[in-house]
A and B are shown apart, each in its own frame.
Chain A
Amino acid sequence: MTRDNIMEAMNGIGDHLIVEAAEKLGFLSDTPMARKPKGQSAFSRFMNSGWGVAAVCALVAVSVMGGIIWAGQQAGHQPPAEESTETTELESLVYIGNEQTDIEISCNGQIISPRRFLDWEGYAEDWDFYDSVKYRKLDVYLPVLYYTRYDEIEWTWLNESCRLRRIRAYDMNMQLIETDQSTGLSAFLMDLPEGRYHIALYGESLQNNETVWGADYAFTVNVAPFIPSSEPMAPEAHRFQFPLISAEDTTSYVAVSDMNAEGAKWIEFFVQPDGQDLTSAYKKRLPAQGEMYLLVVACREKRTGMYKLFYIAESTEVKTVDGEEQYTLTLDGRHMIFEKEPYDNGEYAATGWETPSVGIGEMASASYTKETRWEVMDGFHAYYAKSYIEIDNAVHSYAEYASYYDFVVVYSNVTGEEMINTPVETLPVFPFELFQEDSIFKP
């Protein structure tokens, strides 16, 4: 069949398919399907209500106080006093269409000026989300984000001197979580310099005839410390809290360090598969319905050489969605959905995950490619690793994760109870020598 014939055959498909795709891809509504993460309805409804907005405002105001104080200190200023009238020097850099459009950013209850306007080549109609920036007159340092259509992400953020700077994408450790193509408003997770804290920003559009960024646009500023240190921990500093775990057909050593002082599930270490070929050793069965399991992900950060370990201990159930049986894996209130059957090459496809309490949804690939250095794991685990790391780490998305880490996955179906009840003192010494340059972890 010639290409023209194919074109004609495709042209004859049903109207409903065309309309559906146009809608879901955001051609009609300015709201692509991916902008509506699964499980968001309750969250969205809440956020759509006045209470939701109020709650977010309150949450943000409270949660960023530490950040404000910190930033103020860094800038050599005292923390904002009550009813402060101090003018904070901020700039906002805005690209919007070919027209100058106002933007207001508030800090400590004051509208921040000056404003600067720069031209942007086209798509003016897609960039009216700044109206909603006006709406967000919150006592918070706001990152101002904008997205170009050409794979170039730019943003502004606050640095230590309390000025907004425009940063070119990927210069900093900042991850795009998702972007609304119609408006350019993006959700980012970022960690500020020196790992002080990170900011999560999430936007959701209201769908009607006009693109509106309104009351359900929520963002949070999370001042919880990010990675406590960029320096690798000395091996002897690790205090193993959990036992080593032996899976059925291979010996998988798992060593988990203490949680950090802030309670983040940032776990520093790992693991060795007894010299076996990881590619085969870790391709294990999926857990049966209701079965507890443990999944361990070990990573080595390329930049620092740090090894990091993440674990999951949760349960599974099988659901039938749209006539297809899917696994629903639950951890920390998050549900990850996978197709049950792998592709012919053994990879599993993740069809999505939902995070009802956080408000960030994402569809991701469960696949791996050589370019992204996922050679040592199967797709199921790769996706899981990515997802879980993203939960705890709140930084790295799948696409870029591989540029930061080499990692492998150890999988076991040992129950969480067994894991926790094993006395710490019975843990063997971790075989650090396995992490040599000639090991399988070599980048």
Chain B
Amino acid sequence: MNDQDIVALYFDRNEQAITETDKKYGKLCMQVSMNVLESKPDAEECVSDTYLKTWNSIPPTRPNSLCAFVCRIVRNLSLNRLRYLRREKRNRDLTLSFEELEDCVPMPDESKNELSHLLTAFLDSQPEADRVLFVGRYWFHCSVKDLGLRMDMTPNAVYLRLQKTREKLRAYLTERGYQV
């Protein structure tokens, strides 16, 4: 079932919408949540909450991309869950991925929306593989090793490509007046 049909089910308040969402994006949601939480029970809970939130959001929202929509929800829920759990455990890889980005993104008080737009524009200008790796690492929070497996690259190659992209991002933002 395509996304439009699924969204239509939501608008019809047909609970089949959740079944179809789970069928189509359940695995993706689980992956996103697992990358953040590294805990299957926690991830499953977040995915369930994602469906509930999606159900409550559509309507009135009519997402342009249902895929991105549920991804954002599950990611946010997972990150919130992580914050909650942070005192007890820490996702090493997630922490590491943000530490990497800290070196090339601006310091506080910049507009996050503006920064998001800049990030999007920057990534759009990058080669596909670099773009996918970057988003895979810093949005989906995949480990370098996992990215290597998925992209059939060595972890070292992934690392170097990410490093290169981060360097480009730093230069990109610096050129636009950001203090990095």
Residues of A that sit less than 8 Å from B by CB: 1-3, 5-22, 24-28, 32-35, 37, 178-179, 181, 322, 324, 343-344, 347, 349-351, 361-367, 369, 372, 398-399
Contact = CB atoms under 8 A, between A and B. Distances in A.
Contact of A1 (B25, B108, B135, B151): B108
B107 A12 contact: no
Interface string B24-64: 01011001100000000000000000000000000000001
B150 interface: yes
A244 B119 CA distance: 53
A212 to B, nearest CB: 16
Interface in B106-158: 106-108, 110, 112-113, 115-117, 119-120, 123-124, 127-129, 131-132, 135-136, 138-140, 142, 147, 149-154, 156-157
A12 B113 contact: yes
B170 interface: no
Contact of B119 (A3, A9, A34, A347): A9
B136 A17 contact: no
B156 A363 contact: no
Contact of B67 (A22, A32, A179): A22
8 contacts: A9-B112, A11-B76, A17-B124, A18-B68, A19-B65, A20-B135, A351-B127, A363-B157
Contacts of B68: 15-16, 18-19
A179 B79 CA distance: 30
A8 B142 CA distance: 17
Contacts of B140: 21-22, 25, 27
B81 interface: no
A344 B138 CA distance: 23
Interface of B: 25, 27-28, 31-32, 64-65, 67-69, 71-72, 75-76, 79, 95, 98-99, 101-102, 105-108, 110, 112-113, 115-117, 119-120, 123-124, 127-129, 131-132, 135-136, 138-140, 142, 147, 149-154, 156-157, 160-161, 164, 167
B28 A28 contact: yes
Q: Is the interface of B mostly helix, strand, loop or mixed?
A: helix
A17 B135 contact: yes
A322 B128 contact: yes
A167 to B, nearest CB: 21
B135 A6 contact: no
A99 to B, nearest CB: 19
Contact of A324 (B31, B127, B151, B154): B127
B110 A1 contact: yes
A365 B142 CA distance: 19
A11 B98 CA distance: 13
Contacts of A364: 153-154, 157
B112 A349 contact: no
Contacts, number: 163
Contact of B139 (A18, A32, A362): A18
Given A11-B76, A12-B112, A20-B131, A25 B142 contact: yes
B150 A10 contact: no
Nearest to B145: A151
Contacts of B113: 12
A5 B67 contact: no
A9 B28 contact: no
B128 A24 contact: yes
Nearest to A32: B150
B139 A398 contact: no
Contacts of A28: 25, 28, 67
B67 A18 contact: yes
A10 B138 contact: yes
Contact of B154 (A17, A37, A343, A398): A398
A268 B140 CA distance: 47
B110 A399 contact: no
Contacts of B107: 1
A181 B149 contact: yes
7 A-B pairs with the lowest CB-CB distances in the bound complex, closest first: A12-B116, A34-B152, A365-B157, A15-B68, A21-B135, A15-B65, A14-B120
